[in-house]
Chain A
Amino acid sequence: DSGVTQTPKHLITATGQRVTLRCSPRSGDLSVYWYQQSLDQGLQFLIQYYNGEERAKGNILERFSAQQFPDLHSELNLSSLELGDSALYFCASSPSGPRTDTQYFGPGTRLTVL
């Protein structure tokens, strides 16, 4: 158990809908990262937040947005869902400080878009 929690574990929805994925980082970790892993693919970095502020952006679609709240939990919002958005979405957190190395991954949320 990495200490990172993600809810829900599974999510099934229809095209065009909007969903919210939630992540709680390890206690004390200020950085949160979101990744997308499509079937049998590697992880695509989406976005990073540090203490409530966006720090880095990867291949995140305009239909996707994220935020980190004062209690440090983060939410990833996916809208106008398409079939291709079906994937495993991981959240990871890392220890405090602008320069940290190890990311601890949550168990992921499996999103299925029908």
Chain B
Amino acid sequence: AQTVTQSQPEMSVQEAETVTLSCTYDTSESDYYLFWYKQPPSRQMILVIRQEAYKQQNATENRFSVNFQKAAKSFSLKISDSQLGDAAMYFCAYRSFSGGYQKVTFGTGTKLQVIP
């Protein structure tokens, strides 16, 4: 079974600084997607960024970028120029397409605090 591990329950960053959230996963599959979701206090789940396993290039969305290391099964999220609105829980997620079905596994989350 696939597992997703976020080893940092909480992180903090100064406003305008850069922070990196870690995520590792375990799988024997080669075809999958990885995601980072943000969950602010409103509890809404918001997609931040996604990465396709067969793409070597790291995904980037404005101030958010990932460092995808497929061999190491690592998928970290870097937030540049942190803003107060970035404060939230961040979840790493793995989606496989095994057998044509989509199975999704979420990590336990990292709570990010942004300090003014």
Contacts of B46 in A (CB 8 A): 105
Interface string of A68-108 (1 = CB under 8 A from B): 00000000000000000000101010100011111111011
A48 to B99, CA, bound (A): 14
A11 within 8 A of B: no
A55 within 8 A of B: yes
Identify the interface centre among B43, B46, B102, B105: most chain A CB within 10 Å of its CB. B102
Give A58 Cβ to nearest chain B Cβ, in Å: 7
Contacts of A2 in B (CB 8 A): 44
Q: Using A99-B97, A101-B52, A102-B50 as known contacts, say yes or no to A45 and B45 having CB atoms under 8 A apart.
A: no
A33 to B37, CA, bound (A): 16
A56 within 8 A of B: yes
A11 to B104, CA, bound (A): 26
Q: Give the residue name and chain of the B residue nearest to A48 (CB).
A: B102
A102 to B50, CA, bound (A): 8
Contacts of A90 in B (CB 8 A): 45
Identify the stretch in B66-74, B77-85, B106-114 within 8 Å (CB) of chain A at 4 or more residues.
B106-114
B101 within 8 A of A: yes
A43 within 8 A of B: yes
Q: Is the CB of B50 within 8 A of A45?
A: no
Give B111 Cβ to nearest chain A Cβ, in Å: 9
Contacts of A5 in B (CB 8 A): none
B63 within 8 A of A: no
Q: Is the CB of B106 within 8 A of A43?
A: yes
Give B26 Cβ to nearest chain A Cβ, in Å: 15
Task: Give the contacting residue for A103; candidates B52, B103, B104; CB below 8 A.
Answer: B104
Instruction: Beyond A90-B45, A101-B33, A101-B50, list 11 extra A-B contacts (CB 8 Å).
Output: A2-B44, A42-B91, A42-B109, A43-B93, A43-B106, A44-B106, A55-B101, A88-B43, A103-B104, A104-B47, A107-B44
Give residues in A with beta carbon < 8 Å to B.
Answer: 2, 31, 33, 35, 41-45, 48, 55-56, 58, 88, 90, 92, 94, 98-105, 107-108
Q: List 16 A-B contacts (CB under 8 A).
A: A33-B102, A33-B104, A35-B106, A42-B107, A42-B108, A43-B93, A43-B106, A56-B102, A99-B100, A100-B102, A101-B95, A102-B35, A103-B104, A105-B37, A105-B45, A107-B43
